[in-house]
Amino acid sequence: MKKGKIIRTAGPLVVASDCLGAKMYDMVKIGDIGLIGEIIELKEDRAFIQVYEDTTGIGPGEPVELTGKPLSVELGPGLISSVFDGIQRPLDVIKEKEGDFVKRGIEVPPLNREKKWDFKPFVKKGQKVEEGDFLGEVEETPLIKHRIMVPSGKNGTVSEIKKGEMLIEEVAAVIKNEENEHKIRLFQVWSIRKNRLVKKREMPEIPLVTGQRVLDTLFPLAKGGTACVPGPFGSGKTVVQHQLAKWSDAQIIVFVACGERGNEVADLLLSFPELKDPSTGRPLMERTVIIANTSNMPVAAREASIYTGMTIAEYFRDMGYSVALMADSSSRWAEALREISGRMEEMPGEEGYPAYLASRIAEFYERAGKVICLGSDNREGALSVIGAVSPPGGDLSDPVVQSTLKVVKVFWALDDKLANMRHFPAINWLNSYSLYAESIKDYWDKEIAEDFSEIRQEAMKLLEKESELQEIARLVGVESLSDQDRLVLESSKSIREDFLHQNAFHPQDTYTSLRNQYLMLRTIIHFHNSGLKALKEGINLENVLKSEIREKIAKMKFLEGKGDDPDVLDLFIEINNVFKELLKKKG
């Protein structure tokens, strides 16, 4: 293998000479201990290398081994339930080998080489297959069937197919065509910076149900869509991400903890095996892949971590799954870019970020989508991406936020004022938006209730009206408002407190099905409309507001049971009775 020589070391950046022949983004091994790095710039025979590990003790004169291969991930059985660092080294294996602290220069294969998988073939000898076709599957966890696909560019006829227990490195099938004979193993290798191929892209139209009322009802994300959660620290960004990872109805979750806190990752690692998947009752970990590159782990590996996660997510999407990728936080990734760029003495753009920041962010989010996967069965897969952004001081004019907003379709604006009032999730209902609300309207109205979008619209209108009225009330006092307006204030307060406010740590409140969200909101809106009618009939506001039914509305969210909740339905009729009663009394 060709070798270069180090001529400079400055933190995560190493410069080596004698590197003619090396390609951009090739992986290299640095120094006598073999740290992993990636070439990010070439100048004559010099290569600029970002190193994924701490470079203390590395100096000029040491060798650089050029592998000639791009930085890649291994894709195959064993991914699910794993916890990797930014360049796909399994952290549990590192712990076993090296103890409680992460040391440098460790080489461990990403996927377990010793584990045997029970391979069930789908194809027969002599069958013609094209790229993306399923050759067979292994049951990776009780939740996930891992399909073994024909790698891209390996069309042909199956000349050999195996069955039964095997290691991932064993040949499971052989595909022959005119020029070549391809040995297919249970895993394939893919460069992290290259999109995985698809047949066709489609428009996202089905909502990703998260059980979080403010998200699902007001600002929905479609399967295959992109969302961004910016917010100042302490506004509950991470809790929102965790809730999504726990409750969203994606089949596979890839969670990239990118430059975040170690204890948060520990929380994920300890709680996911205990948490149950709401639909199957199995541990959530059985559908989750975690990439953990905490803030104190090497900064260059942080840069790579979101691509590692993205490539793994795309791989599962290719099997026809609905996958959700959470990146927490893309600001830390951008800072890693900035740090490396600074060390390379590149001309900085805004706030010291490199000029290519916006295009890198756009490229990243564009890897999301609903697609027709490769393969003759034309199956659908979806990859939704939710990126958290941590703008300095919560300032949304930050370049990372602005570049992200240009590409994502859903914006969940976290608000520290709401967080201070302990209104969680602290998503501001006036500033947030979702561009998918239109395209998934059909789904709601067909699958949930025909007046879903109508009721949603009414709720949004009430909240909008509330903010106007509050302005007025602030200037002239609440007393000067008309009874109708005061009812609007009361009803929107009820929407805020009884519907939008959701306690992630309360066993019943933490998840609400789409159907129940509809029922809850309809109850609140129904009370409002009945109230308005009653006011018109001459009943005074105090009597409307005094009704005990309002306490029941406030408790809806704590009711037990999932699916259609008869208690909530009952309120609808109860409200009718209450108002009949009021009218009778007056009558």
Partner 1 sequence: MHKEYLTVTNIVGPLVIVEKIVDVKYGELVEIASPGGQLRRGTVLDVSTERAVVQVFEGTTGLDIDKSSIRFLGGSQTLAVSEEIVGRIFDGSGNPKDGGPKIIAKKRRDINGSPINPQARDYPSEFIQTGISSIDGMNSLVRGQKLPIFSGSGLPHARIAAQIARQSKVLGKKEKFAVVFGAMGITFEEANFFIEDFRDTGALERSVIFLNLANEPPIERIATPRLALTCAEFLAFDLDMHVLVVLVDYTFYAEALREISAARKEIPGRRGYPGYLYTDLASMYERAGRIKDKPGSITYIPILTMPEDDKTHPIADLTGYITEGQIMLSRELHRKGIYPPIDVLPSLSRLKDKGIGEGKTREDHADVLNQLFACYASGKEARELALILGEAALSDMDKIYMEFAEKYEDKFVRQGEHESRSITDTLDIGWDLLRLVPKGELKRIRPEFLDKYYSIEK
Residues 228-267 that bind partner 1 (CB under 8 A): 232-234, 238, 257, 259, 261-263, 265-267
332 lies in the binding site for partner 1 (CB under 8 A):
yes
Q: Is 340 exposed, middle or buried (0-12, 13-18, 19+ CB in 10 A)?
A: buried
Q: Contacting partner 1 (CB under 8 A), which of 22, 37, 50, 55?
A: 55
Residue 551: CB minimum distance to partner 1, A:
7
- Are the C-beta atoms of residues 449 and 518 closer than 8 Å to each other? yes
345 lies in the binding site for partner 1 (CB under 8 A):
yes
94 lies in the binding site for partner 1 (CB under 8 A):
yes
The first and second tokens of residue 340, run together, are 């490396």
Please identify, among the stretches 39-47, 134-142, 472-480, 569-577, the one whose residues bind partner 1 according to the rule CB under 8 A: 472-480
Binding residues for partner 1 restricted to 74-93, rule: CB under 8 A: 83, 91-92
Residue 432: CB minimum distance to partner 1, A:
21
Tell me if the bond preceding 425 is cis, omega within 30° of 0: yes
Binding residues for partner 1 restricted to 9-48, rule: CB under 8 A: 9-11, 15
Q: Contacting partner 1 (CB under 8 A), which of 203, 430, 472, 478?
A: 478
Q: What is the dihedral of CA 413, 418, 420, 425, to 10 degrees?
A: -70
The one-character DSSP state at 11 is T
Q: Is 482 helix (H, G, I), strand (E, B) or coil?
A: coil
474 lies in the binding site for partner 1 (CB under 8 A):
yes
Q: Is 429 helix (H, G, I), strand (E, B) or coil?
A: coil
The first and second tokens of residue 471, run together, are 């302005």
Tell me if the bond preceding 295 is cis, omega within 30° of 0: no
> In 477-513, which ranges are continuous DSSP H helix?
483-494
**Between 94 and 158, CB nearer to partner 1:** 94
Q: Contacting partner 1 (CB under 8 A), which of 118, 464, 497, 581?
A: 497
Could you give the CA distance from residue 43 to residue 440 in angstroms, rounded to a whole number?
Answer: 50
Please identify, among the stretches 52-60, 180-188, 375-383, 459-467, the one whose residues bind partner 1 according to the rule CB under 8 A: 52-60
Which residues, 6 or more positions from 554, have their beta carbon under 8 angstroms from its beta carbon?
A: 494, 497, 498
Whole-Å CA distances, 193 to 54, 59, 71, 310: 22, 29, 8, 9
102 lies in the binding site for partner 1 (CB under 8 A):
yes
Residue 486: CB minimum distance to partner 1, A:
11
Could you give the CA distance from residue 433 to residue 103 in angstroms, rounded to a whole number?
Answer: 44
Q: Contacting partner 1 (CB under 8 A), which of 393, 538, 563, 587?
A: 393
**Between 184 and 285, CB nearer to partner 1:** 285
Binding residues for partner 1 restricted to 141-180, rule: CB under 8 A: none
Could you give the CA distance from residue 501 to residue 557 in angstroms, rounded to a whole number?
Answer: 9
Residue 21: CB minimum distance to partner 1, A:
21
Q: Which is nearest to 82 in space by CA: 287, 303, 311? A: 287
Q: Which is nearest to 204 in space by CA: 223, 220, 228, 226? A: 223
Residue 265: CB minimum distance to partner 1, A:
4
Please identify, among the stretches 59-67, 144-152, 172-180, 427-435, the one whose residues bind partner 1 according to the rule CB under 8 A: 59-67
**Between 178 and 551, CB nearer to partner 1:** 551
Q: Is 569 exposed, middle or buried (0-12, 13-18, 19+ CB in 10 A)?
A: middle
Binding mask 544-563 toward partner 1 (x if CB under 8 A, else -) reads -------x--xx--x-----
**Between 123 and 336, CB nearer to partner 1:** 336
The one-character DSSP state at 560 is -
Please identify, among the stretches 63-71, 142-150, 357-365, 416-424, the one whose residues bind partner 1 according to the rule CB under 8 A: 416-424
